[in-house]
């Protein structure tokens, strides 16, 4: 979709301008955040005030689900916990959680069609929270509208423990710490998230040092990381912001480090009270083979445990 801003539309916020042609302001905001909207060829924030004559282009199919016959590829994943209300999925690296721009087929949401349910968007039914494509590990998926509502509410109340294992470049100066810094689109590189932003949203990440490793002068730290909020790329952005990017991270760190083809980040534990029974659900996931190999590579030098 392509439109030119009329003189009477000048000064409107971009998301408000697109609300009517896209069906809702929330959908407009999602497409803007996904990078599917440009103004005069550049990605801008949803709060951008449009000017007369500017050309707005929208990939208005970026959030649309593919036709069922186009879903295609078989998706492999493990299910370490399941009952009548929900399931916990152990997602491998490389698997996209739901369809989006550039990833229309072969997603987890599509593989769970007919099983997962709940949420406003049918094309990602049941998805309560997500993981980046190249982050492996655990996420919870609802099987009904009520289960989705209750799990979302628990997540917002910070009653869901999401614990990650991350190997980072260098060693933090403290055995534990908290990064409390808003995250939004980077001021200069709009495809990246950053703490250097004009549109930051509250974000808090906690970490604890598990192990210090060395390799011929290079030093790494194995961290246990917990999310208090859930912003896009939050762990990766926060650790990069304190000078300790996730090992192998192609966007925020050093690609290919320790032979990695992705960031060393794994959602290792997911714990919460069952939304219907209140019984504890506590699931753990072991490091996948590629991360174990990278850890062995990092252990090539002297190490010490704390």
- Identified catalytic residue from 15, 63, 90, 132: 132
Phi-psi region of 158 (alpha: psi -120 to 50; beta: other; left: phi over 0): left
Q: Is the pTM of this model over 0.95?
A: no
Beta-strand pair 136-142/265-273: parallel
Instruction: Show the tokens assigned to 95.
Output: 């698997």
| Number of residues that this document lists for the chain | 306
pLDDT for the residue 247: 98
Q: 14-22 vs 25-33: helix axis angle to the nearest 10?
A: 120
61/15 Cα distance (integer angstroms): 16
Classified by CATH at the fold level, domain 64-157 comes out as Pseudouridine synthase (3.30.2350)
Contacts 24+ apart (CB under 8 A), 235-239: 235/164, 235/166, 235/205, 235/265, 236/132, 236/263, 236/265, 237/183, 237/193, 237/194, 237/195, 237/203, 238/179, 238/181, 238/183, 238/195, 238/203, 238/205, 239/166, 239/168, 239/179, 239/205, 239/207
Are 2-58 and 64-157 the same fold in CATH? no
| Residue 65 confidence (pLDDT) | 54
Query: 2 - beta bridge partners?
Result: 57
Compute the distance between CA of residue 208 and CA of residue 20 in angstroms, rounded to an integer: 47
State the DSSP H helix or E strand holding residue 148, giving kind and residue range, or none if neither. Answer: helix 145-156
Number of H helices and E strands in the chain, helices first, is: 6, 15
pLDDT tens sequence across 75-128: 789 999 999 999 999 999 999 998 765 556 788 999 998 899 998 777 788 999
CATH superfamily ID and name for 2-58 = RNA-binding S4 domain (3.10.290.10)
Q: In tens digits, what is the pLDDT along the chain, a chain of 306 residues?
A: 888 888 888 888 998 888 888 877 888 888 888 888 999 888 888 889 999 889 999 986 665 555 444 444 467 899 999 999 999 999 999 999 987 655 567 889 999 988 999 987 777 889 999 999 999 999 999 999 999 999 999 999 999 999 999 999 999 999 999 999 999 988 888 778 999 998 889 999 999 999 999 855 679 999 999 999 999 899 999 999 999 999 999 999 999 999 999 999 999 999 999 999 999 999 999 999 999 999 999 987 444 443
- State residue 65 phi and psi, 5-degree precision: -75, 150
Strands (E), 104-183: 136-142, 161-169, 176-180
Under a CB-based contact definition with an 8 Å cutoff, are residues 47 and 27 in contact? no
pLDDT digits (tens, 9 = 90+) for 18-44: 888 887 788 888 888 888 899 988 888
For this structure, is 132 an active site residue?
A: yes
Is residue 139 within 8 Å of residue 270, measured between CB atoms?
A: yes
Q: How far apart are CA 126 and CA 87, in angstroms?
A: 10
The pLDDT of residue 259: 95
Q: Would you state the structure tokens that stand for residue 59, as one six-digit string?
A: 């990939």
Domain assignments of the chain as residue spans, ordered by start: 2-58, 64-157, 158-306
- The string of DSSP codes covering 167-200 is EEES--SSSEEEEE--BEEBSS-TTSEESSBSS-
CATH of 158-306, one of 3.20.180.10, 3.30.2350.10, 3.40.50.1000, 3.40.190.10: 3.30.2350.10
CB 5 within 8 A of CB 52: yes
Tokens 């208090």 -> residue: 228
Please tell me whether residue 164 adopts helix, strand or coil conformation.
strand
């Amino acid at each position: 979709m392509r439109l030119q801003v009329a003189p009477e539309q000048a000064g409107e916020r971009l998301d408000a301008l697109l609300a009517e042609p896209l069906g809702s302001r929330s959908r407009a905001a999602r497409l803007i955040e996904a990078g599917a909207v440009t103004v005069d060829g550049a990605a801008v924030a949803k709060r951008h005030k449009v000017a007369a004559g500017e050309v707005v282009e929208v990939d208005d199919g970026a959030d649309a689900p593919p036709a069922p016959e186009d879903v295609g590829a078989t998706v492999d994943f493990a299910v370490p916990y399941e009952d009548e209300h929900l399931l916990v999925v152990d997602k491998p690296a490389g698997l996209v959680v739901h369809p989006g721009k550039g990833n229309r087929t072969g997603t987890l949401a599509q593989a769970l069609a007919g099983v997962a349910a709940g949420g406003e968007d049918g094309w990602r039914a049941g998805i309560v929270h997500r993981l980046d494509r190249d982050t492996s590990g655990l996420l919870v998926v609802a099987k009904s509208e009520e289960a989705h509502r209750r799990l979302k509410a628990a997540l917002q109340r910070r009653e869901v423990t999401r614990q990650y294992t991350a190997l980072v470049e260098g060693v933090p100066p403290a055995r534990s710490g908290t990064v409390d810094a808003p995250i939004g689109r980077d001021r200069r590189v709009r495809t990246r998230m950053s703490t250097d932003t004009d549109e930051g949203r509250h974000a808090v990440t906690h970490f604890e040092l598990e192990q210090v490793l060395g390799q011929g002068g290079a030093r790494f730290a194995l961290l246990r990381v917990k999310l208090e909020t859930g912003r896009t790329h939050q762990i990766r952005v926060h650790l990069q912001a304190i000078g300790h990017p996730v090992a192998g991270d192609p966007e925020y760190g050093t690609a290919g480090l320790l032979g990695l083809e992705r960031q060393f980040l794994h959602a290792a534990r997911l714990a919460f009270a069952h939304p219907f029974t209140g019984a504890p659900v506590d699931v753990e996931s072991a490091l996948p083979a590629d991360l174990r190999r990278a850890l062995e590579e990092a252990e090539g030098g002297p190490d010490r445990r704390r």
